């Protein structure tokens, strides 16, 4: 089966120049791959570096060492050393990401926040909005909220907008950082359904889920991040 | 997306006597990309922008620009007339102070129409219709078309300046603190408007700002300047979320949340 994402020997540390330049090692020797149609889950305690790994895979955090090989545009690229322009293209076409919190943009309606990634990929605005409506309905977001900017929404409402925005495109790789953290049981189940549909469609998923029920429902495999602890001697 | 950068800047420096304006700046800008230039007061942002827009000539370095016909031209080797033509047709320049970019004693409609005439449009009815259309795009009511910008608020003037610059369909827009000097609620509206226009028109832009939230909202890429030099550059969210240079860390830590 196809393997659209291969991570090898990735290391990450933070150097805090404002605190006498102390270096905080986070992970090293991070190596795994994700196949099309599977959902792998990053496991490990708080602070182990799960979100940091996801952010490196999205180009949001810089990578100190190692390679992140992604199938993109008919070829392979190394995201760890890619130019900003290549990273932008990867985000538009290949890797989607649902962050833990929605970053709101003033004056843009929830519907357009969700439709935007499709419009960026060249879909016409009305088609994109129709898909956005369907997803927001599936996630039980009250219709009266669709035309409003999400800045004033509750945590769970914002998160559902964020999930819809992440799931609306057909990116072959999808990264999920605790997408169900602020959702009730009914909507957690919807997210599980959405993830299953992505798997069936052959998407490679990598997620972080604190909720054990959700994790058990979606995970094909758990990648234990403590194995990559930067303090530890590599096995 | 084409595989040729729109603007290619190499080792650009500008000295004012022995004082450094900007030093050794190198980057490429592609069509449709918005690059934010941030840094403290005196770090060389305006100097760089003025060199790029050829309002100022650099002390050394080169910049080439891909013309509409696909040819690359060296900006600092063009004649004065050629540069003026580029500025009128293919480029826009949005000043922090709208009074620097507008003609304060002619009507709002004429401020917009003038740019169209400068690119050769002579048809009065069409010019006026386009002006009305652009004023509405920047949310200025059409009953204000005959008013002079002197009678406008700061936010309205800035929106008018933007309309004046975008009406000719430029491919590259330079902006120096486009939301500076406006109060916060007016800023938010202007930013939102700019963000929409830049995306809809697929503009490339270089935006100088000291406001990291503005950079986050408008740009995909960012350059951080200090003492005339670029100390860090990359994707905007990468630079803001994982700042590497000591100065960038200081800049990011000194604001609440972006
Ligand atoms: N931008 C940053 N700058 C400095 N340190 C950071 C940054 N991001 C993360 N860290 C540090 O890196 C370590 C790993 O953080 P990370 O967020 O990846 O953990 P996590 O496994 O996702 O934890 P949680 O389960 O609590 O979300 C932590 O010590 C954190 O403080
Ligand atoms: N015409 C000039 N003659 C001499 N020195 C100048 C001139 N213009 C700018 N400088 C100097 O060049 C340096 C960079 O100035 P510049 O205006 O580019 O800074 P800036 O980053 O735009 O600052 P600000 O955020 O305050 O607008 C400063 O030290 C400034 O004093
Ligand atoms: Mg985390
Ligand atoms: Mg300046």
Cα gap B49→B20, rounded to integer Å: 15
Cα gap B62→B10, rounded to integer Å: 5
**pLDDT at B180 (0 to 100):** 82
- Nearest chain B CA: its distance from A117 CA (Å): 12
DSSP letter, residue B149: G
- Kindly report, residue by residue over B206-217, the tens digit of the pLDDT: 999 988 988 998
pLDDT grade for B257, boundaries at 50, 70 and 90: low
The response to whether residue A46 sits with its C-beta less than 6 Å from ligand 1 reads yes
- Kindly report, residue by residue over B168-183, the tens digit of the pLDDT: 889 999 999 988 877 7
The response to whether residue B168 sits with its C-beta less than 6 Å from ligand 2 reads no
The interface predicted TM-score of the complex, written ipTM, equals 0.93
Q: Atom of ligand 2 at shortest distance to CA of B48? A: 18
For A138, the enclosing helix (H) or strand (E) is: helix A125-138
Per-residue pLDDT, averaged over B111-117, amounts to 92
- Kindly report, residue by residue over A119-173, the tens digit of the pLDDT: 988 899 999 999 999 999 999 999 999 999 999 999 999 999 999 999 999 999 9
Q: Are A224 and A30 in contact (CB under 8 A)?
A: no
The response to whether residue A68 sits with its C-beta less than 6 Å from ligand 1 reads no
- Kindly report, residue by residue over B70-99, the tens digit of the pLDDT: 999 999 999 999 999 899 889 999 998 999
Q: Of the candidates A176, A109, A173, A171, which has an alpha carbon nearest to the alpha carbon of residue A141?
A: A109
Q: Mutate which of A11, A13, A17, A27 to disrupt the B interface (most B C-beta within 10 Å)?
A: A17
Angle at B164 between CA B161 and CA B167, to 5 degrees: 140
Among the ranges given (A23-37, A83-97, B124-138), the one the predictor scored with the smallest mean pLDDT: B124-138
Find the residue in B nearest to A87 (Cα).
Answer: B235
The response to whether residue A47 sits with its C-beta less than 6 Å from ligand 1 reads yes
- Nearest 5°: phi and psi at B215? -60, -45
The shortest CB-CB distance from B234 to any of A84, A105, A106 is to A84
- Kindly report, residue by residue over A158-217, the tens digit of the pLDDT: 999 999 999 999 999 999 999 998 899 999 999 999 999 999 999 999 999 999 999 999
Lay out the sheet containing A173-177: strands in order across: A95-98, A173-177, A204-208, A39-43, A221-224
Counting one residue from chain A and one from chain B, the pairs whose CB atoms sit within 8 A come to 49
The number of beta carbons lying within 10 Å of the beta carbon of residue B166 is 22
């Amino acid at each position: 089966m196809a393997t659209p994402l291969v991570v090898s020997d990735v290391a990450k540390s933070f150097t805090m120049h404002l605190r006498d330049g102390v270096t905080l090692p986070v992970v090293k020797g991070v190596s795994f791959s994700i196949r099309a149609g599977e959902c792998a889950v990053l496991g490990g305690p708080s602070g182990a570096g799960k979100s940091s790994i996801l952010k490196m895979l999205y180009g949001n955090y810089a990578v100190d060492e190692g390679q992140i090989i992604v199938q993109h545009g008919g070829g392979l690229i190394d995201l760890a050393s890619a130019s900003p322009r290549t990273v932008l293209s990867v985000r538009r076409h290949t890797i989607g990401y649902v962050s833990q919190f929605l970053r709101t943009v003033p004056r843009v309606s929830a519907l357009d926040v969700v439709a935007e990634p499709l419009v960026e990929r060249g879909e016409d605005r009305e088609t994109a909005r129709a898909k956005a409506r369907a997803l927001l309905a599936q996630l039980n977001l009250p219709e009266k909220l669709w035309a409003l900017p999400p800045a004033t929404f509750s945590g769970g409402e914002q998160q559902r907008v964020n999930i819809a925005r992440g799931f609306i495109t057909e990116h072959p790789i999808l990264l999920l950082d605790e997408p169900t953290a602020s959702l009730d049981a009914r909507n957690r189940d919807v997210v599980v359904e959405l993830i299953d549909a992505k798997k069936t469609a052959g998407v490679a998923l990598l997620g972080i889920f604190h909720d054990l029920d959700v994790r058990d429902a979606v995970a094909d495999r758990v990648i234990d991040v403590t194995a990559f602890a930067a303090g530890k001697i590599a096995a | 997306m084409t595989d040729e950068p729109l603007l290619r800047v190499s080792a650009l420096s500008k000295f004012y006597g022995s004082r450094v304006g900007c030093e050794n700046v190198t980057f490429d800008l592609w069509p449709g990309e918005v690059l934010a230039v941030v840094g403290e007061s005196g770090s060389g942002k305006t100097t760089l922008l003025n060199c790029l827009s050829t309002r100022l000539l650099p002390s050394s370095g080169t910049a080439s620009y891909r013309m509409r016909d696909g040819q690359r031209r060296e900006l600092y080797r063009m004649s004065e007339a050629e540069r003026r033509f580029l500025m009128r047709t293919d480029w826009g320049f949005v000043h922090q102070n709208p009074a620097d970019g507008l003609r304060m004693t002619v009507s709002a409609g004429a401020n917009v129409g003038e740019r169209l005439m400068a690119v050769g449009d002579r048809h009065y009815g069409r010019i006026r219709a386009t002006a009305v259309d652009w004023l509405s795009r920047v949310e200025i009511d059409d009953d204000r078309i005959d008013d002079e910008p002197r009678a406008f608020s700061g936010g309205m003037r800035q929106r008018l300046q933007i309309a004046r610059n975008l009406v000719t369909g430029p491919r590259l827009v330079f902006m120096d603190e486009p939301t500076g000097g406006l109060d916060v609620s007016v800023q938010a509206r202007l930013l939102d408007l700019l963000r929409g226009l830049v995306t809809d028109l697929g503009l490339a832009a270089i935006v100088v700002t000291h406001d990291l939230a503005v950079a986050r909202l408008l740009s995909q890429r960012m350059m951080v300047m200090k003492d005339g030099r670029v100390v860090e550059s990359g994707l905007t969210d990468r630079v803001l979320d994982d700042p590497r240079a000591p100065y960038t860390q200081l800049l990011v830590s000194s604001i609440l949340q972006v």
